[in-house]
Amino acid sequence: MNDKERVEALHRKMKERRKIKDRRVTMALCAVSNILVLCLILVISQGELHQGAVAGNYSGAIMLYGNAGSYVLTALLAFALGVVITIILKKMKEAKSGSTDE
């Protein structure tokens, strides 16, 4: 093997390892997303058991009246999950573009 073949073999091996790492990250994100969906289903199904809080007309707790609390919680968790996934994907994109620039 000459130097050029060694370098090409090294690049192939690095590319394979990068693919494996990307698959692991993707699988981890899928698992977390599935767990969060199951949690949301449980929260919504448990919301039917509670009648909510009776609150005044000018308070934020009015959203908890009449089983609306599970929907508010679902919306907040969905927003937080979206933010987390966006940050992770942005960092992955920056890392990938940083590694190809070298």
State the pLDDT at residue 15. 92
Dihedral angle computed from the Cα positions of residues 5, 10, 11 and 17, in that order, rounded to the nearest 10 degrees: 150
Cα–Cα distances (Å) from 38 to 1, 2, 34, 49, 70, in that order, read 53, 54, 6, 18, 14
User: What values do phi and psi take at 39, rounded to 5?
Assistant: -60, -40
pLDDT tens sequence across 16-71 = 999 999 889 888 888 888 888 888 788 777 755 555 544 444 455 555 566 666 77
State the pLDDT at residue 22. 87
State the pLDDT at residue 81. 86
Is pLDDT larger for residue 40 or for residue 81? 81
